[in-house]
Structure 1
Amino acid sequence: MKRSDFIKSGAALLSSSVLLTNDLMAEKKEAIKGAPFKLDYAPHQGMFTSTAGKNMIDEITYMHDLGFRSIEDNGMPERPVEEQKRIGETLTRLGMRMGVFVVPKGGNGANTLAAGKQEFVDIFLKGCRESVEVAKRVNAKWATVVPGDFQRNLPMGVQTANVIEALKRGAAIFEPHGITMVLEPLSDTPNLFLRYTDQTYEICKAVDSPSCKILYDAYHQQKNEGNLINLMELCWSEIGYIQVGDNPGRLEPTTGEINYKNVFKWLKNKGYSGIVGMEHGMSKSGVEGEKALVAAYREVDNF
């Protein structure tokens, strides 16, 4: 073989090898991009509609392609029964989990459980019974309860006892079905009865049921009390579910002041295998916002 032909042949082989290597690297990057995360983050409908469209089944499938293995849907009870069933079937087919939905009228400003009024308790218990049927259709194991506002004409101890008694009756409905109502302390307004982790811990201890635990939303608790990891450690036995959102702004991790990489590392080391609900907005809109959202979770999941 002539030297010039040999050089040409070698160059062609090298070029082919480089292209092959680049292709393999691209495939590897794409595989990593869609690989499951270390923790089980759960998006909501609407986070990926720019790419997947507005059909929830299509969006769930796309979430799975991105590496997510659970979803949340606060308004699941308001969806038509047939749609609930299709969602449940899709999650089963993809090996995904259903996260929390909100118990219908599970306690709010209009029917606060702190008031101790029978008509309010009846509304709450009706919502619990309806939630059991919803949970069966989508194979859900958790349902969110917010006890509502303060009843300010009653002493705090009486209000707390009223909430505990109502929750005991709710837990009795959920317990035979293996469903846990998770109580969420919130930061939205000072009128809310349930605001702090230790307060929720005390109530769960008093209810004394595997079907009554804490929904720890790090966004709300950063606003209310801070000291996230230490308070989770102190109240860990009663924490049944995690939600996140950065503060300020209630957007995806990396946009605010919470060091979510450390928080998620702590959860993993703690042995947490439950769902981490993505209970927040997005810093950007459209396809770019969706890419930024996934990139943020890949970053904080890299611990």
Structure 2
Amino acid sequence: MNRHTFIRQSLLAGAALVSLDPMRSAANALNLLKEKPFNMKFSPEFGIFKELVGKDIIDQIKWGYDQGFRAWESTWLARRPVEEQERISKTVSQLGMEFGQFVGTMNFKEPTFASRDQAIRDNVLKEVKASVEIAKRMNTKFIHNVLGMADPKLPWDFQMANAIELLKRAAAIYEPHGIVMVMETMNHKINHPGMFLHTIPQAYAMAKAVGSPSLKILFDFYHIQIQEGNIIPTLDYAWDEIGYMQIGDSPGRNEPTTGEINFVNVLQHVYDKGYRGFMGMEHGILKPGKAGEVAALAAYRAVDPK
């Protein structure tokens, strides 16, 4: 029996137990994991385990700590009221956890970094400046900024030049505060056709051109597997410019072990290279309800590096 089959059968067995007595079996499964910290800094997002925990955001963080998570992230944090951000930050701090990335500027409709439209570029810098205060409030140094759509009216090299110039200006805003902007490549084939930044070599070239400690790559395994594949060699080549990672299996963008990526090998490789940073859990859960969420927790235990 190969590794993938073994893990899948183990998870199916766990889900079957939950189906016999959902509340008792889910509780038993969770107690087995309680207070055993993960080696990898897996970082859940709000709502990922809502069936087991409920909708209260503070309860979700506390529950996550009990299950061994020592970090948290929230893509849409900037949309939450300041009072809510403060509650999140206080809870994370009191538990001795770390807060990872949130999005500072995001546009999936217009060329932003690739464009020379001054009004659009000014708005990007306005949002970049505003994100500094949120980062301070959350005691995090990672801000994820989306580079927008490609500009079909401009030759590719002009777009690259525009993006590099704007990235330099953003990095100059972040540098005095020790903040790191991370930029994520997004696949064209399934989720985000037309986005400007879509490959790791492209991101690597821009990071090198900007040459700032406040600009790094967000390496999202899901997007990279779809757009490029060749995960480990690509990761190794870009290693010195990678500042943050996110996880999600392909196809489906669900938890590890539900797709084709060998996360046991990949995460062990990352860990052995010395990465101790965030591993954001930006994905869905394959199966519905409590059974699916218990299976996802078991999957993370199965792929946690040694």
Report the CA distance between 1:108 and its aligned residue: 3.6
Percentage of pairs with the same residue: 48
The structure number with the bigger radius of gyration is: 1
Q: Which amino acid in the other structure matches residue 244 of structure 2? A: Y
The CA distance in 2 between the partners of 1:302 and 1:228, in whole Å, is 17
Q: Is structure 2 residue 301 aligned with structure 1 residue 298? A: yes
Contact preservation (8 Å) 2:33, 2:67 = no
Q: Which amino acid in the other structure matches residue 180 of structure 2? A: T
Report the CA distance between 1:285 and its aligned residue: 2.0
Report the CA distance between 1:111 and its aligned residue: 4.4
The CA distance in 2 between the partners of 1:249 and 1:108, in whole Å, is 21
Q: Deviations over 1:168-190 (max 9, x none)?
A: 11111111111111010101233
The CA distance in 1 between the partners of 2:145 and 2:41, in whole Å, is 22
Contact preservation (8 Å) 1:241, 1:275 = yes
1:254 corresponding residue in structure 2: 257
The CA distance in 2 between the partners of 1:111 and 1:151, in whole Å, is 5
Pairs within 5 Å for 1:197-208 = 197-208=200-211
Contact preservation (8 Å) 1:77, 1:104 = no
1:268 corresponding residue in structure 2: 271
Pairs within 5 Å for 1:95-114 = 95-105=96-106, 107-114=107-114
2:183 corresponding residue in structure 1: 183
Report the CA distance between 1:41 and its aligned residue: 0.3
Q: Deviations over 1:220-262 (max 9, x none)?
A: 0000000001001001000000001000000000000000010
Q: Deviations over 1:168-222 (max 9, x none)?
A: 1111111111111101010123311111001100000111111100000000000
Contact preservation (8 Å) 1:216, 1:239 = yes
Report the CA distance between 1:160 and its aligned residue: 0.2
Unaligned runs of 5+ in 1: 1-26
TM-score (norm 2): 0.87
TM-score (norm 1): 0.88
Is the partner of 2:114 in helix, strand or coil?
Answer: helix
Q: Which amino acid in the other structure matches residue 177 of structure 1? A: H
Contact preservation (8 Å) 1:204, 1:212 = yes
Q: Deviations over 1:37-87 (max 9, x none)?
A: 110001111112222221101100000000001111111011000110111
The CA distance in 2 between the partners of 1:174 and 1:51, in whole Å, is 38
Equivalent position to 1:277, from 254, 269, 280? 280
The CA distance in 1 between the partners of 2:92 and 2:57, in whole Å, is 11
User: After alignment, is 46-55 or 204-213 more displaced?
Assistant: 46-55
1:19 corresponding residue in structure 2: none
Contact preservation (8 Å) 2:40, 2:305 = no
Equivalent position to 1:235, from 234, 238, 241? 238
Report the CA distance between 1:33 and its aligned residue: 4.5
Is the partner of 1:243 in helix, strand or coil?
Answer: strand
The CA distance in 1 between the partners of 2:109 and 2:165, in whole Å, is 18
Pairs within 5 Å for 1:22-171 = 30=31, 33-105=34-106, 107-171=107-171
Is the partner of 1:182 in helix, strand or coil?
Answer: strand
Contact preservation (8 Å) 2:73, 2:100 = yes
Is the partner of 1:241 in helix, strand or coil?
Answer: strand
Unaligned runs of 5+ in 2: 1-27
Contact preservation (8 Å) 1:142, 1:181 = yes
Aligned residues: 275
Which structure carries more relative contact order (alpha carbon 8 Å, separation 6+)? 2
Q: Which amino acid in the other structure matches residue 174 of structure 1? A: Y
User: After alignment, is 113-122 or 35-44 more displaced?
Assistant: 113-122
The CA distance in 1 between the partners of 2:51 and 2:58, in whole Å, is 14
Report the CA distance between 1:302 and its aligned residue: 5.1
Contact preservation (8 Å) 2:267, 2:305 = no
Report the CA distance between 1:136 and its aligned residue: 1.1
